[in-house]
Amino acid sequence: MNLTFTEEQLMMQKMVRDFAQKEIAPIVDKMDETDQFPAEAVKKMGELGLMGIPIPEKYGGAGMDFTSYIIAINELSKVSATVGVILSVHTSLVANSIYYFGNEEQKQRLIPKLAGGDYLGAFGLTEPGAGSDAAALKTKAVKKGDKYILNGSKIFITNAGAAHLYIVFASTHPEAGPKGIAAFIVEKGTPGFSVGKKEKKMGLNGSNTCEIIFDQAEVPAENLLGAEGEGFKIAMSNLEAGRIGIAAQSLGIAEAGLQHSLEYAKTRKQFGKPIGAQQGLAFMLSDMATRVEAAKLLTYRAAHMRTMNQPCGKEASMAKLYASQAAMKTAIDAIQVHGGYGYTKEYPVERLFRDAKVCEIYEGTSEIQRLVLSKHLIQD
Ligand code: CAA
């Protein structure tokens, strides 16, 4: 595996780094305080071509590789994990779902809007009774003429409310379990579809997390994604790419924690010398840096494999598992390095701590990653 980025990837890194400093850093604190969705920043991301990085130019995307897209999430998340997850769900779970599983008509009708940033995407899989056990979902879809009638609800849906298009999983044949699930494209304004309660979260403020409700929702049959019965596979295979995105988001949080800690440890003096020169914290910083580097290698290895179209389910789960835990541990240590100040909102590390936790939960908990990994270890 080549561990150096190409010219094109380096250009993406610089562009997103500059964008994040100029457009996102100034709004981070307000977004955290008010929980306001960063609509203006997302619009600018669309103008810069960031909402469809791995989508071919033919469908209005930037036509770049998957690694370039992961670089973008990583760079955004160093400044704001909120903006990182907005892009990750939109691209990995929505635009990619249509690109890989949609028919030509769906691709031409919808992908340019997603890739250009006119449409934001959301992914409706999780339900109150079906979180880790995603195949246990209860939302039903019944075909009536040229429509499917959907009934049920989904929870914890990232981007809901702000999104224009939702990929929704519902059962057409409940008796068939995972093989009875279908995927649907549900557009905002669909009769019978509404957005419910918005969650008040510990962190990732500014990222909408809402319930979505289907009450006799009328979805045109032409919006069936793939075939009936293919929904679960569509969800799982897109989550593979999604998990590399969350690994990159986690990596961004961990890198930010390390960066803030190094800056603080160099300037803060106690006992007559910088705290970073004292062995207790010097060792902690060394462990943080090693953890960040390991998370980076796992994340970019999985991204590289996906770029090369190699199967990477195992590597995606390893990256997501390790990087999310690295983010959490690095955020905890970053607070420790900052001492009492780290526990206040004067420094950003307490936000990193609140943002990091969910990375161990969404797109498959750490326990689910271990389950997926163990299946690969035994079967491959
Ligand atoms: N690609 C393609 N197909 C796959 C697949 C993959 N990666 N993984 C599984 N499948 C297929 C299997 O091959 C199988 O089909 P066959 O019977 O034809 O072989 C079918 O799917 C069922 O697979 P399993 O028997 O492994 O399914 P399971 O029910 O035992 O377990 C699970 C699956 C791994 C536990 C799965 O339910 C899972 O990943 N759960 C976690 C749910 C999750 O990640 N939710 C995320 C919500 S979205 C989100 O969080 C976004 C956000 O807000 C940020």
Residues 6+ apart with CB under 8 A from 293: none
Query: How far is it, in rounded angstroms, from Cα 352 to Cα 354?
Result: 5
* Tens digits of residue pLDDT in 361-374: 999 999 999 999 99
DSSP state of 335: H
**pLDDT (mean) for 291-312:** 97
pLDDT at 2 over 90: no
Query: Across the chain, what does the average pLDDT equal?
Result: 97
> Which residue's CA is minimally distant from atom 15 of ligand 1?
233
Angle 164-361-41 from CA coordinates, rounded to 5°: 40
- CA nearest neighbour of 336 among 321, 353, 360, 355: 353
Residue 229 CB–ligand 1 contact under 6 Å: no
* Tens digits of residue pLDDT in 192-221: 999 999 999 999 999 999 999 999 999 999
> Which residue's CA is minimally distant from atom 47 of ligand 1?
363
Query: How far is it, in rounded angstroms, from Cα 323 to Cα 155?
Result: 25
Band (pLDDT 50/70/90 cuts) for residue 160 is very high
> Which residue's CA is minimally distant from atom 24 of ligand 1?
178
Q: What is the pTM of this model?
A: 0.97
pLDDT recorded at residue 114? 98
Band (pLDDT 50/70/90 cuts) for residue 297 is very high
Angle 222-224-225 from CA coordinates, rounded to 5°: 120
As given in the structure block, the two tokens for residue 350 are 């307490």
CB 261 within 8 A of CB 349: yes
Is this complex scored with an ipTM above 0.90? yes
pLDDT at 1 over 80: no
Query: How far is it, in rounded angstroms, from Cα 357 to Cα 355?
Result: 6
Atom of ligand 1 nearest to the CA of 135: 29
Residue 123 CB–ligand 1 contact under 6 Å: yes
pLDDT recorded at residue 3? 76
* Ligand 1 mean position, distance from CA 232 (Å): 7
pLDDT recorded at residue 380? 79
Atom of ligand 1 nearest to the CA of 93: 51
Tell me whether residue 8 is one of the annotated catalytic residues: no
pLDDT recorded at residue 26? 98
